[in-house]
Each structure stands twice: as C-alpha cells, then as structure tokens.
Structure 1
Amino acid sequence: MSISLADEIRTGANTATTALENQLIAHRRELHQHPELSNQEFVTTQKITDWLNAAGIRILDLGLKTGVVAEIGPAHGPVVALRGDIDALPIEEASGVPFSSQQPGVMHACGHDFHTSVILGAAYLLKAREDQLPGRVRLFFQPAEERFGGASQLIKAGALENVDAIFGLHNAPELPVGTFSTKGGAFYANVDRFQITITGKGAHAAHPEEGVDSIVTASHIVTALQTLVSRNVAAQESAVVSVTRIEGGNTWNVLPQSVELEGTVRTHNDDIREQIPGRIRQLISGVAGALGAKAELHWFGGPPAVVNTPRWAEFSLQAAAEFGYKAEVATAQMGGEDFAFYLHHVPGAFVSIGSASEFGLHHPQFNPDESAIFPAANYFQQLAEKALYELSVK
C-alpha cells in the first residue's frame, strides 16, 4: 500500500521511503546544477532517460529532440498522463545553495527541476505497482515550457494519443509545504505579448520644438495604457496590462527618433482577450497623433488560459484532502502555462503544490523547500491510480 502524507508524519519514514526521498532530492540537485534553456535540454534529457532506464521504465520513441515520454502499465485499459517540465531560465543564480547552477546565466528559477523530480518519484512508485494498475500511466518530461512551445511539440509528436485524462503541477512558493490548491474552470491566464514602436522626429535636446518627442509620447502612452483595464474591463473580470521594457535614445542631449515599448497582457475571459489589441491600437494612435508622432502595435499571441476540467479539478482536490494535504480551492492566477494546450485536447487538471520559498518564481534567490518533493511524488502516484480506477468503471 502506498504511504500517505499523514502516515509519514505520524509514523516516520521507513528505510525504503527514506532512500527514495533522498534519491529524488539528489535528482533535483543534479538537475539544478546543470540547467538548460528551452529546446537545449540535451543533457537533462539524457539524465532523465538514464534514470528511467535504470528503473526499467519503458520510454516511447516519439522522435523528440529534447524531452522524454515514458509509460507504465498494461497495454489495455485507460491512459492517464502526468506532466513535468524540464527547462530553465536565463537568470544568474544568487540563492547561495551548495548545489547552485554551474551554468553561468542559467538557473532553475521556476522549479522545473522540482517538477521533474516529483514526476520521476511518481514513476518509480507506479513501477513498483505496475502489475496492479488497471491501465497505463504516461509520463511527460516536457521541454520548452518557458517559451510556450514544448506542449505543442509533444502533442504533434503523438504524446497525447489515447490519453483519457492529464494532470500537471506547479510548485507554489507562496504556499506552505503540505498545502495543495486548484480550481475548476479558468486557472492560469491567457498570455499575450506586445511591442509598440513610437516614431517621432529627432532633434537637439536644447531645441525640442524642432522635433517630435518620442520619449514624451511614450510616457503618455504608458500612462494611458493603465486605463485599458480600469475603464474597459468590468470589475468582476480579471485582466492585467504591464509595460515591462522601454528602450529609446543613446545619449543625453539628443531627442531620439523612436522609442520601443514592450509588455504583456493577461486575461481569463476570451472575449476580453480578443478586444484588447484593438483597444490598444485605438489608444496609442490617438495619443501619438495628438502629439504629432506615430505609434504601431505588434501583437504576439501566446498560450491560452489553463481551463481545468471541473470534474478532474474536484477529483484532484478530493484526492489531495484524502492524502493529507491541506487542500484549498485556488484563486485564478495571472501567470501563464503551456499545459493549457493539453487541456484543449483532453480533459484534466493543473494543480499547485506548496513549496515555501522566501523568494518567488523567476527570482535569482528562488529556493523551494525540498521536503515537498517526496509527498508530491507520492500524491501523484496515488492520483494516477485513482484516476485509472475512476476511468475503468465508467
């Protein structure tokens, strides 16, 4: 019988459990020391392949350049997928841990090493019970989540074929260890990126009347963009417009010809998502025109919102409560996740596992609590089995 979180707390870990927990932490630290950026996860892919092979877990040949898809269980019956992601971020680590990144300028600052170790642990636990499974568990070690392309790569390669339900996780540094949350419906947001090019007329800084000031125009546009949500989106809806980069000029005494702005829009409602690019174009054209400049919008649509299947979100929450987690219904998140693409094809749920880091995701000092890894692995093993039995009797 699988060991529950409650049993672990009450009775303490036995020798086998302690060995597995230590192994998963060792896997996480090995991955953390050798992070790789999206679509460059060649060493990571080989490490995961070697660990799965050593456990006797079969790997599916899907022709992937990076990433691994494996499978446990008999050929018959339903198929449940578990997904972890494997790529890192272009961030210089400053956590100070003894197993810090050995790759300059690259860090597992989002916890994908944590996620990978959790799904590896679930795989090991499921393998030990393979002859008792009423179906198959397919394991996704997905590349390129940070660039929102990895899920589509796996789908195109056929990883979702015959999958009846899929589950994925993200560690939540704002939640204590032992806490679990998810929700049915829209969970993570639509993610879109924009660039705005503002063109004025360059001039000497001492004679601004001879030019059209692109910096002043950009400043007015940044301020005006803040009204998009407050004056165009109903208060009960959720949306964020953030300008994250301003670039223009190269010296102190010249008004530049042009300025570029860049930022992101996050929404949950698809109707609002569709309306915002048009409103931005209207706004920047009006502001720039009033100041004698021109403004052009470049829009880059990203992954859609993560919309959990209500049935499987509730199933995950109930399983978490039974397991011993403090299970909570989540609030909608404004972050993005390409797990959304899987949910456009099959039902499932994305969940949050508390990791209790003082510093948040994408911070150079991000450091999740490793004690959360083994319980999460055990939970996902039990969740996969429960889902297989649920699907078997339907």
Structure 2
Amino acid sequence: MDFFKWVSSILLLLSMLSISSSNPTGPPQIGFDFLTSAKKPEIVEKMVDWRRRLHENPELGFEEFETSKLIRKELDEMGIPYKHPIAVTGIVGFIGSGGPPFVAIRADMDALPMQEGVEWEHKSKIPGKMHACGHDAHVAMLLGAAKLLQEQRENLQGTVVLLFQPAEEGGGGAQKMIEAGVLENVKAIFGLHVSTDVAAGMVASRPGPVMAGSGFFEAVISGKGGHAAIPQHTIDPILAASNVIVSLQHLVSREADPLDSQVVTVAKFQGGGAFNVIPDSVTIGGTFRAFSKESFLQLKQRIEEVIIGQAAVQRCSATVNFNAKERPFFPVTMNNEDLHRHFRNVAGDLLGPHNIREIPPLMGAEDFAFYTDVIPGCYFFLGMKNESHGPLESAHSPYFTINEDVLPYGAALHASLAMRYLLESHPSPQSIEGKAHDEL
C-alpha cells in the first residue's frame, strides 16, 4: 500500500471516530446529534411542509410524477446527486464517498384509490385518491434524513443510497427497482412504516420473518345455467363454488402445521343476477399468505388443486389465475439477525432501550420483502399513537391521519442506521495500521 494513501485512510477513519474522543459513548452520540438536528424548527417545518404538499396531491403507483418532481427539486437544493427515472417514477440518490460500502434507506411514494374522509386544511385535492398509508410521511422523513446525512457527507466513508420507490401498494414497485439495478453493490437496506398501534417515541420490529409472503388468486367456475325451478337440468356453479370455499378453509385447519401460521381468505364471490336463474358461471377470488417460501408455494399448489377438484365433484370445470403479472407475489419480509441487532442498538441509543418493542409476525404483506429477498435488510415500525391526541384510524382507512410529531424521529433513525452501518463496516484504525505495517 502507498504510504501516503495509508496515512490518508488512517486520518479519515480517525475523523469518523473522532466523536468517540469527545464523548466516551462514541457511536451512540451519532443518533443523539441527528435527533437534535432533526428537531430543529427549520427542519421540522420542512418535513411537515413536504408531507402536507404530498398529501394534498396523492398519486397512485407508477403515476407519482409530481411527487418525483418535488423530491428531485429538494435533492437538487441539497446538492445530492441522483438517478431518474428508475422504474418509471422512482429516484435513487447518493450521499457520501461514492464508493463502498453501500447501504440503502427506502421510502415508498404511492397513494391509494380512496376518497379522503378527513376534513382539514391539507385534505387531498385529487378526488378518489388519498395518502391513507403514510407514504407521504415516509417520503418526508427520508428527505429529512437526506438533509441530515448531506450535512455529514464528509464523515461518511462509504455511500448512503436513497431509494424513493413507486408502487408499493400492490404494484411490485420494489421488484421493478431491483430489476433496474438499484441494489448493485448495496450490502444492506433499512425501511420503516408508521404505525397507529405503537406509541409515539417507540419503535417495533423483530428478527426473522416480520411480515408474510402473499399472493392473490381468482377462479372462474363454469357449469350450465337454467331455471331455478328445475335444477336437475342445470349444473350449478354456485353450489360448486360454495363447496370450493369450504374446502379451501381446510387447507389451513387440516393441512398446515398449527405452529406454521397461514391464511387463505376468499373475499370475492360474483355470480348470478336473478333470484330464479342459476348462472352459467361464478367467479371467486382471494388471498393466501404464509411465513415461509415452502409453505407459500404449497398453499399455491393446493389452492389450484382444490378449486379444480371440488368443481369437478359438482360436474363443473374451473380455471385458476394467480394474476402474478398484475399483482406480483410478495415474498416474506425477512429481517436479518445482524441488521436487527444493529437496529436495536441504534434505536436503543436514540430512543432508550425501553422504547423498543418486539412484535409477533404480522400477516400483512409489504413489498420491502423484494429487497430482503435479495440482500440483508431490516424493516421496523415507527410509533405514532398519542393518547392525548385521541385515537388514530388504521392504515387504509379514509380517516387515516399522521402524527407529524414523529417525523424527526423517523429522519434521525434513517440517518443513524445508515451512518453507523458504514462506520461499523470499516475495520478499526488499529487493524488497518497492522496490515499496512506488514505491507511496508
């Protein structure tokens, strides 16, 4: 190794670790400093403004053109380089040295096709569209983290990758981002979601599977229609569909290990339009979920077999469509053990260890799973509940609201998780010194 490069490396690492010499706790001070900065009125006001502007102008998956424009304008003002468009409307920003190691932090951008029911100054201006899942807050917090990290860019020995992702709500936006190469050289990724069930100032997560893998299915069961008064001349698809639905429930109650949580739900049943006419066909549809790839694929296989087999018992035919192109299967959201430990350390130092909750796996699905299916990741929930403010409606409700007091916490956690990951990914100055001495 060139002597001067070796000296430069040592000095840069010492500058990264200089916080340890001024504060015995070292890395924990990073989170404290980020949170202090994130709570400054000028940064809070910016995050609140970003979030409210996004809330007023919600856009659905792969249609987030104005959302993308706002993000790019703010990144330009911060002096943060980025790539766009990625997966139609997505953006990938870069802060730091431009070299390895690379760590990613992600926010989803899309809204839902819902009419907002909350009457307030910044209500959605777009009829039939609403940020009812907190993605407006997610973008605001990631922009806040970008501002915090950009101010520390000289101390980042490595690169933080900012992922502003489209189409989380069923569109598989994460999968499209991955196909576009956003995870190239990235070694770890962190993501968060606001939660109405966790108290403000607290976070919740768990190691291993945190959210289920999920898929959708639709089946058309065909028979022979006719008059309800002479059913013997018909082949009744409604009766066949009813038997199919009952049999599908047995897949969980009688074929799955009781300790291996699975769900099969039929939520769609369409057929017939008259009281006295048996229709030619019936359409049913639903979702299935599991916490392992093996269980998920087994459910998929058995759902198709049961639908076709039970329809045949009633003399009907059936076709099954899993709509994988329109609604991609979501893998299990899996938290890497080491990254979850890193999350607990960072969140504990920033919020206090008593403000970290470990939760059981959730049957909901999240397309962050596409990232954790490729590289190690950690996904956690940021609490918003504040009893003094009254109850919060759950996500995907037309009355969903955001407790904006938590925006600084999300920004500081994003920034702290990324910066400390880079810091801890580098060897200590002592180990570099020993290696360099050997080479000299």
TM-score > 0.5 by shorter chain: yes
State the distance in 2 between where 1:280 and 1:61 align: 40
Q: Which residue of structure 2 lines up, in the alignment, with residue 170 of structure 1?
A: 193
State the distance in 2 between where 1:95 and 1:143 align: 24
SS state at 2:348 partner: helix
Residue of 310, 323, 335 corresponding to 2:364? 335
Q: Which residue of structure 2 lines up, in the alignment, with residue 295 of structure 1?
A: 318
How far residue 64 of structure 1 moved from its aligned partner, in angstroms, is 4.8
Q: Which residue of structure 2 lines up, in the alignment, with residue 308 of structure 1?
A: 335
SS state at 1:173 partner: strand
Q: Which residue of structure 2 lines up, in the alignment, with residue 193 of structure 1?
A: 216
Matched, 1:371 2:405: yes
Residue of 231, 234, 246 corresponding to 1:211? 234
How far residue 39 of structure 1 moved from its aligned partner, in angstroms, is 0.6
State the distance in 1 between where 2:185 and 2:300 align: 37
Please report the TM-score for the alignment, with normalisation by the length of structure 2: 0.83
State the distance in 2 between where 1:115 and 1:157 align: 22
Residue pair 2:61, 2:171 contacting (<8 A) in 1 also:
no
Distance 1:366 1:233, change over 3 A: same
RMSD, matched Cα:
2.1
Residue pair 1:359, 1:365 contacting (<8 A) in 2 also:
yes
SS state at 2:63 partner: coil
How far residue 209 of structure 1 moved from its aligned partner, in angstroms, is 2.7
Residue pair 1:181, 1:317 contacting (<8 A) in 2 also:
no
Relative to total residues, which structure has the larger helix share, 1 or 2? 2
Q: Which amino acid aligns with 1:103?
A: I
Residue pair 2:336, 2:377 contacting (<8 A) in 1 also:
yes
Distance 1:162 1:281, change over 3 A: closer
Residue of 276, 279, 291 corresponding to 2:302? 279
Matched, 1:21 2:44: yes
- The percentage of counterpart residues that share the same residue type is 35
1:287-318 per-residue CA deviation (whole Å, 9 max, x = no partner) reads 32332322332224502111121100111022
SS state at 1:138 partner: strand
How far residue 62 of structure 1 moved from its aligned partner, in angstroms, is 5.9
Please report the TM-score for the alignment, with normalisation by the length of structure 1: 0.93
1:254-310 per-residue CA deviation (whole Å, 9 max, x = no partner) reads 211101011100101222112113322332234323323223322245021111211
Q: Which residue of structure 2 lines up, in the alignment, with residue 108 of structure 1?
A: 131
State the distance in 2 between where 1:181 and 1:294 align: 47
Deviates more, 1:252-261 or 1:288-297: 288-297
Unpaired segments ≥5 residues, structure 2: 1-28, 386-390, 429-440
1:229-252 per-residue CA deviation (whole Å, 9 max, x = no partner) reads 111111111111111111112233
SS state at 1:147 partner: coil
Q: Which residue of structure 1 lines up, in the alignment, with residue 396 of structure 2?
A: 362
Unpaired segments ≥5 residues, structure 1: none
State the distance in 2 between where 1:300 and 1:271 align: 20
Deviates more, 1:46-55 or 1:75-84: 75-84
State the distance in 1 between where 2:190 and 2:278 align: 53
Question: What is the 5 A alignment of 1:317-328?
Answer: 317-324=344-351, 326-328=355-357
Distance 1:3 1:282, change over 3 A: closer
Q: Which amino acid aligns with 2:32?
A: S
Question: What is the 5 A alignment of 1:235-274?
Answer: 235-274=258-297
SS state at 1:351 partner: strand
Residue of 31, 36, 41 corresponding to 2:64? 41
Q: Which residue of structure 2 lines up, in the alignment, with residue 220 of structure 1?
A: 243
Q: Which residue of structure 2 lines up, in the alignment, with residue 4 of structure 1?
A: 32
How far residue 56 of structure 1 moved from its aligned partner, in angstroms, is 1.6
State the distance in 1 between where 2:31 and 2:260 align: 42
Q: Which residue of structure 2 lines up, in the alignment, with residue 381 of structure 1?
A: 415
Distance 1:229 1:110, change over 3 A: same
1:147-193 per-residue CA deviation (whole Å, 9 max, x = no partner) reads 34211222222221221211111112221211212222211111111
State the distance in 1 between where 2:275 and 2:109 align: 44
Matched length: 389
SS state at 2:360 partner: coil
How far residue 377 of structure 1 moved from its aligned partner, in angstroms, is 0.6
Residue pair 2:35, 2:408 contacting (<8 A) in 1 also:
no
SS state at 2:267 partner: strand
State the distance in 2 between where 1:71 and 1:131 align: 13
How far residue 77 of structure 1 moved from its aligned partner, in angstroms, is 4.0
Residue of 206, 225, 229 corresponding to 1:202? 225
SS state at 2:186 partner: coil
1:88-122 per-residue CA deviation (whole Å, 9 max, x = no partner) reads 11111112232111111111111111111111111
SS state at 2:125 partner: coil
Distance 1:242 1:186, change over 3 A: same
Residue of 82, 87, 103 corresponding to 1:59? 82
State the distance in 1 between where 2:119 and 2:418 align: 36
